[in-house]
Amino acid sequence: MKRTQISKFWKDASGFEGQTVDVAGWVRSARDMKEFAFITLNDGSCFNDLQVVAERGELSNYTEIANAHVGSALRVSGIIHLTPERPQPFELKADTIEIVGDVASDYPIQKKHATREFLREHQHLRPRTNLFRAVFRIRSRAAYAVHSYFQDLGFLYVTTPIITTSDAEGAGEMFRVTTLDLENVPKTDSHVDWSKDFFQAPASLTVSGQLQGENFAMAFGDIYTFGPTFRAENSNTRRHAAEFWMIEPEMAFCDLQGNMEVAEGLLKSVINYILDHCDQELSMLNRFVDKGLTERLRHVASSDFARVTYTEAIEILEEAAAQGHAFEYPISWGIDLQTEHERYLTEEHFKRPTFVTDYPKDIKAFYMKANPDGKTVAAVDCLVPGVGEILGGSLREDNFEILEKRIVELGMNPEDYKAYLDLRKYGSCEHAGFGVGFERLVMYLTGIDNIRDVLPHPRTVGSAEF
Ligand code: 4AD
Ligand code: MG
């Protein structure tokens, strides 16, 4: 039996008038009016419920249906009637209703229970709430918009490995992948004998698909990856997850300006798509989560992003501090920007998304292209109000000798990066790319301020449930 999604009726109920349809969903409420009962049913296809009318005279299981528990799963067959004189424009008059899955008596239905923290621990309930339905529909649409943007620009979608033997960011925040018996690790001279491991080498979950992405950019020109990445960062913040998705385009024959144009275009294109396709979800979030959401998204979609160098940003922050703005972390050239600094720049100074470029080389990854000043690299971060860093990227060091020297300088082993270095030996060219944290993007699109609440099943320090 093929069920009809409830959203179809809300799009065009008159097209179904008088027709027999099969629907299925979960009970929101059941009201017994003695001779007939109203069941409101939701199937997740849209916010709106379907009102089902059950008549005592028509249904042999009327008593059971009229007392159906909130949350139980029903299948209903019946006829759609338009009801323009009533608050809801149509209803389904049931011929048959079957309870296919009842709920246990400990089902938590009280409103006071519905905090986001409580819902994280009750996964069966979480995606059935209006809030999470709005968030995850926007997440789904945003993923589609990302693919559309790059496909329309002629980028190749390449999937990069999840298991890897190189640390793409050189930050050592990787989860190990092994089949060795951890109770009895094979050793030679008190060192782990990796030749006995599955890959005969230490392997980890990837922190970024960039290095393999560059490999394909050197053949296809413009590529992007969009997949899961993993970081064992021990930071329990609202913006860090241990498992998150990243969108990483990489462009051959492209400079830092070109990189920023693609990044700005991507963010605006996804925002516009969501504004055009998620009206109901945005209104709901705008009402209950973030009152300025829709206005902010419209503003961003139509304004130019600000652009400053790191050195200029430090000057702006020093000036603000001199004027009496209290920052917890002291400001001086060379520091890594803290969230409070990022937020000041984008929320108070520029009041729009801001690209910060040319960071000190010591706080950025090994692969970023050295600037002629010898102190900075051609890096770019984009900061947005409410979220802080939404994407980070750079021009890549495309000179073999300079890159090899940098790898050695940082105490890394050039042998581990041989394939990456080879790209600089055989037809190297100026190239650039960036990585957008997909959850940070969804936070920005929804106004949700905790990364856990835009992840279907969040994994963070100390928590990997379900
Ligand atoms: O700035 P990051 O570390 O850059 C890279 O990984 C580069 N390889 C990207 C590239 O140039 N291709 O990470 C990129 C973005 C950040 O700006 C942030 O949005 C997100 O990934 N991100 C996280 N999101 C959630 N949880 C975490 N722990 C994150 N770490 C980074
Ligand atoms: Mg970064």
Ligand 1 near 222 CB (within 6 A): no
Cβ atoms of 447 and 290 within 8 Å: the answer is: yes
Q: Which bound ligand lies closest to the C-alpha atom of 436?
A: 1
Cβ atoms of 89 and 113 within 8 Å: the answer is: no
pLDDT category at 134 given cuts 50, 70, 90 is very high
Taken as a whole, the chain contains a residue count of 466
pLDDT category at 24 given cuts 50, 70, 90 is very high
Percentage above 90 pLDDT, the chain: 89
d(CA 215, CA 420): 7
Dump the DSSP string for 340-404. HHHHIIIIIISSS-EEEEEEEGGGS-TTBPBPTTSSEEEEEEEEETTTEEEEEEEEB---HHHHH
Handedness of CA 174, 371, 266, 216 (dihedral sign): negative
The count of other CB atoms within 10 Å of the CB of residue 421 is: 16
Ligand 1 near 367 CB (within 6 A): no
Ligand 1 near 233 CB (within 6 A): yes
**Averaged pLDDT for residues 308-333:** 97
**Averaged pLDDT for residues 452-457:** 97
| Dist. CA 318 → ligand 2 center (Å) | 22
Of 16-25, 106-115, 258-267, 278-287, the poorest mean pLDDT is in 106-115
d(CA 82, CA 18): 8
Q: Whose CA is nearest to atom 27 of ligand 1?
A: 240
d(CA 313, CA 303): 20
Nearby residues of 302 by Cβ (< 8 Å), 6 or more positions away: none
Ligand 1 near 342 CB (within 6 A): no
Q: Which two tokens stand for residue 254?
A: 């492209």
**Averaged pLDDT for residues 338-357:** 95
pLDDT category at 141 given cuts 50, 70, 90 is very high
Q: Which bound ligand lies closest to the C-alpha atom of 369?
A: 1
Q: Return the ligand 1 atom nearest residue 435 CA.
A: 9
Q: Which of 120, 245, 230, 125 is nearest to 168 (CA)?
A: 230
**Averaged pLDDT for residues 182-191:** 94
Residue located via tokens 């992948």: 177
Please identify every residue whose CB atom is under 5 Å from ligand 2, which is an ion: 392
Average pLDDT, the chain: 95
pLDDT category at 113 given cuts 50, 70, 90 is low
Q: How do residues 51-110 score in pLDDT, each as one tens digit?
A: 999 999 999 999 999 999 999 999 999 999 999 998 889 999 999 999 999 999 888 766
Nearby residues of 226 by Cβ (< 8 Å), 6 or more positions away: 143, 146, 147, 157, 245, 246, 247, 248, 438
Q: How do residues 198-257 score in pLDDT, each as one tens digit?
A: 999 999 999 999 999 999 999 999 999 999 999 998 888 899 999 999 999 999 999 999
**Averaged pLDDT for residues 146-167:** 96
Alpha-carbon torsion, ordered 184, 185, 188, 193, to 10 deg: 150
pLDDT category at 1 given cuts 50, 70, 90 is low
Q: Which of 459, 449, 457, 420 is nearest to 212 (CA)?
A: 420
d(CA 412, CA 427): 24
pLDDT at position 123 over 90: no
